[in-house]
Amino acid sequence: MEAFSIEGGHRLFGTVAIPGAKNSVLPLLAASILCRGTVRLYHVPMLSDVRASLQILDSLGCVAQYESGTVSVASGHLCSSTVPPRLMCMMRSSVLYLAPLLVRTGRAVITQPGGCQLGARPIDLHLAGLVAMGARVAQESQMHKIILTAPFGLYGADFTLRFPSVGATETLLMAAVTARGNTVLRNVATEPEITDLARFLQAAGARISGIGTRTLHIIGQDALLGAQHTVCPDRIVAATVLCAVAGCGGEAILTQCNPSHLTPILDALRRAGCACVARDHRTVTISSNGQLQMPQLLEAAVYPALPTDALPLLCAAFLQANGTGIFNDTVFENRFACAKGFAALGAQVQLHGAALTLHGVPKLYAAKLQAEDLRGGAALALAAMLAQGTSILDGTELIMRGYENFAALFSNLGARITQL
């Protein structure tokens, strides 16, 4: 188990170049299997989840290479339709290999995916949509194995998601681009990472309209070619930096980001007293004196609302704010596993289901902390940066799933954080 040592009480100053988005890179790597030519992805962070994805591609017979932020994938000759269980359990996004394998080999075999335990995260929407497009599903309960076949290939369908799931939208979009005929996907997710995937697929020859709306129209093509694509910026890494500066105080410039993807986060921080300015379409600045006004209510929901991944980060920023506020997550019921760690630092928190009530306190004090999930772990690191004394945060391998080098990122801004 890996750990950070974090000495709190230091303001943050500097410039941060925002990396490519984890939540975009992972579906893009899965989608590369659809392409008969070579795929090149630029602006790719080397995360533990990216390493796991490259291992999955290698196990399937692809030639995948990473060098200096660029990934190249050649998937002309697949040798397997099964994602190894040891790799499936490493991350939630392993489920995204269902559709590409089904398209390329007529068969896909997976076990239940891993990832953060944020509550119920079923894959029934993925399966229902694929069945509507002609797939057959069998489950082997003893091995928790799911087997999909498409003996006659996939065909277009008109399918409505009962909830705008990001993962299900990605799965069905990847299935539809080479399905026979036309597909209409309704009530889809509209997150920036969905748009990024759709633009990549278009570059490879897919015909998709309605990108950025709740309804996608896809005309199936015989095959997709190779493509080159630059991954969109990671709005959650940007949110992490913004929340850290807001809570600790200081000034920072965020480059290579997309301010339009950060609107609900910037709005929340402005209302709290921070000076947040979008300098252009790639740059955001933030200035904070560290004395924030507590919001009465912050609620996470599907895009374009406040992202669920940012909610615990914002909560960490407000631990010493003036007033009382409620932080509610409408997406995941167990988003606040970090609440126990907040309390250990001296924060006044009350957890009621998916909602956390926070009473701001004048001071926080160092403690021994345990990361339970990726974003909650990052939130505990931010909280420790606010506290007096030196905290130890265990379980930081979870944080490495979404941040290329968390300790270096914040050390470069003036935080006292070291990897143990």
Q: What is the number of other CB atoms lying within 10 angstroms of the CB of residue 420?
A: 12
As to burial, measured by CB atoms within 10 angstroms (0-12 exposed, 13-18 middle, 19+ buried), residue 371 is buried
* pLDDT, tens only, 151-187: 889 999 999 999 999 999 999 999 999 999 999 999 9
For residues 317 and 155, give the distance between their C-alpha atoms in angstroms, rounded to a whole number.
Answer: 48
- Give the length of the chain: 420
Instruction: Summarize the confidence of residues 195-200 as an average pLDDT.
Output: 98
- As a whole number, the mean pLDDT across the chain is 94
Please pick, among 116, 232, 248, 338, the residue that the annotation labels catalytic: 116
Q: What is the pLDDT of residue 161?
A: 97
Q: How many CA atoms lie within 13 A of 150 on its CB side?
A: 27
Query: Tokens standing for 355?
Result: 């909602």
- What's the Rg (C-alpha) of the chain? 21
CATH fold for the domain made of 22-230: UDP-n-acetylglucosamine1-carboxyvinyl-transferase; Chain (3.65.10)
* pLDDT, tens only, 86-105: 888 777 688 899 999 999 99
The Cα angle at residue 49 between residues 216 and 337, in degrees rounded to 5: 90
List, by residue range, all CATH 3.65.10.10 domains of the chain: 3-19+233-419, 22-230
Q: Are 45 and 22 in contact (CB under 8 A)?
A: yes
Q: What is the number of other CB atoms lying within 10 angstroms of the CB of residue 117?
A: 11
Q: Are 272 and 246 in contact (CB under 8 A)?
A: yes
Instruction: State the residue for tokens 């928790």.
Output: 144
Q: Write the CB contacts of 67 (distance below 8 Å, at least 6 apart in sequence).
A: none
Q: Are 114 and 144 in contact (CB under 8 A)?
A: no
Q: Provide the β-strand partners of residue 244.
A: none
Q: Which CATH superfamily is domain 3-19+233-419 in?
A: Enolpyruvate transferase domain (3.65.10.10)
* pLDDT, tens only, 312-331: 999 999 999 999 999 999 99
What's this model's pTM, rounded to 2 decimal places? 0.95
As to burial, measured by CB atoms within 10 angstroms (0-12 exposed, 13-18 middle, 19+ buried), residue 78 is middle
* pLDDT, tens only, 101-157: 999 999 999 887 654 444 445 788 999 999 999 999 987 655 678 899 998 899 999
Longest dimension (CA), the chain: 65
* pLDDT, tens only, 217-268: 999 999 999 999 999 999 999 999 999 999 999 999 999 999 999 999 999 9
Q: Are 256 and 233 in contact (CB under 8 A)?
A: yes
Q: Is residue 116 flagged as an active site residue?
A: yes
| One-letter identity of residue 317 | A
